[in-house]
A = this chain, B = another copy of it.
Amino acid sequence: MSGEVSTKKGGVLSMGPHTLQIPTELFSLNRQRLVNSLREKITDALVLLQGGEEVPFYDTDITYNVFRQESYFMWAFGVIEAECYGAIDVKTGESYLFIPRHPEEYAVWMGPLAQIHDFSNKYGIANVYYVDELKTVLEKLNRAKILTLKGLNTDSGLTAKPASFDGIDKFSVDEAILFPVIANLRVYKTEHEIRVIKYVVAVSSYAHRQVMKFIKPGNYEYQGEAKFLNACYEKGGCRHASYTCICGSGVNGAILHYGHAGCPNASPIKNGDICLFDMGGNYFGYAADITCTFPANGKFSADQKMIYEAVLTATLAVHKACKPGVSWVDMHVLANKTMLEELKKGGLLQGDVNEMFEAGLGAIFQPHGLGHFMGLDVHDVGGYLSDQPARPTKVGLNKLRTARVLEKGMVLTIEPGCYFIDPLINKALEDQKLNKFLVPGVIERFRKFGGVRIEDDVLVTENGMEDLTKVPRSVKDIENWMSGNLDESTFLDSDKLFAW
């Protein structure tokens, strides 16, 4: 045994030749990176990860949704089936996969019983066993520690569930070492992962473009969602969206998480509405997260153009500044101040922009952070780790999903927005520290405006960033695209990641 993780050649994950072929080396490389990092802390140890399980729909015999793998397990093993475990021997680098042993009847309902060698070939892992052999195999490997995953998800407040099995109490288990190491590794995307992310962003961009062409006043918002999901799946093989589609028209665009069960994208789109559609496909776990904002009737009004371009100016300022070494907090501040400056030019605000930012006016118009890491989770992990900058406490910055300094290989969303949210506008109008910056007569004109968000998915490169999103962004391009005067070839997939 070498110190390398198993390099047995595996298959590919794919939804057909017109979709991206993901080599299983993506995952063995992640395991190698994990082992390399862990060896700085411990060698006589086994990593043990538990894959996801099916979630029943209440007490019925259907599931809440088609099974999707838990992200840490996916990152390390790339296995799409439920109820597996995976182990990695830190000392030798050898990987072990444990699959459920199904009864014979399973073949009738679920397909031919997968054999050990099928899994071994598919996932490129030499050592595949049944889950009921887990304890025996771990005993034989006889390492001093088993490292399981326990740590806080700083976006949800929930805790990753450490691997567990009958008999684990017989082993010496450490829950602390693994989490910060693996969470931090997930922040830096490998070339393999960047390829997948580029693909799912390209597919989602394509789908957004179709939606923009399709939507007309009179449509219902959810018809845009239906179009998007169809384009992602039928063309790009993305069975799942990465999150609930947000399709807000008019005033609904100011509801940040519109689209949930209580507000199910069920309003009619009216002439004169601006549409804020935030949707992203998912390809073998990897997420896209794109927001397009466009006028329902294809033509921006003067007010819509002004607000849209205020946000776009903020976007472009961040695109220009974004590179290794800059702080994400500074990028947020840059975006906010740029937008406030533009709103001032547009006549909504008055006074000194730095003063209004310090007073917290940025968070009135954009209550959310500039963006977030993106990867196997749409809000990807690693935003706040103990050896990284802590969450800022200042209002306007405390919603940021990370305060880290940018580094090459990070993938983030850049998503400034400007919303007219009644309770926040009212709060600002009543607050002496804020109301002096508002031009009330003008603000009132925007009460039912809704919102604008421009959300791109970007990769931090050696000297700057690459915008992976391929949708019309300028007012002119959007209007031309929606009226059929901008060619699809403008958005050519220069990486040739998909065959259509």
Chain A residues with CB under 8 Å of chain B are 14-16, 52, 55-71, 80-82, 104, 107-112, 114, 153, 155-161, 220, 222-223, 225-227, 229-230, 233-234, 237, 239, 242-244, 252, 255-264, 266, 268, 367, 377-379, 421-424
Contacts and interface: CB of A to CB of B under 8 A. Distances in A.
Contacts of A66: 244, 259-261, 264
Nearest to A81: B262
Secondary structure type dominating chain A contacts: loop
A297 B291 CA distance: 40
A294 to B, nearest CB: 19
Chain multiplicity (copies): 2
B220 A16 contact: yes
B68 A57 contact: yes
Contacts of A57: 68
Nearest to A379: B61
Contacts of A379: 60-62
Given A58-B70, A108-B424, A227-B234, A222 B239 contact: yes
A420 to B, nearest CB: 12
A378 B62 contact: yes
Given A111-B258, A268-B16, A226 B222 contact: no
A264 B244 contact: no
A80 to B, nearest CB: 6
A172 to B, nearest CB: 24
Contact of A261 (B80, B258, B261, B262): B80
A223, A256, A268: residue with the most chain B Cβ atoms closer than 10 Å: A223
Contact of A58 (B15, B52, B56, B229): B52
6 A-B pairs closest in CB distance: A61-B156, A230-B230, A67-B261, A226-B234, A65-B65, A226-B233
Contacts of A69: 261
21 contacts: A15-B264, A16-B220, A58-B70, A58-B161, A59-B156, A60-B377, A61-B153, A61-B158, A62-B377, A64-B68, A66-B264, A107-B421, A110-B262, A110-B263, A111-B262, A112-B422, A114-B262, A223-B233, A223-B234, A226-B233, A229-B229
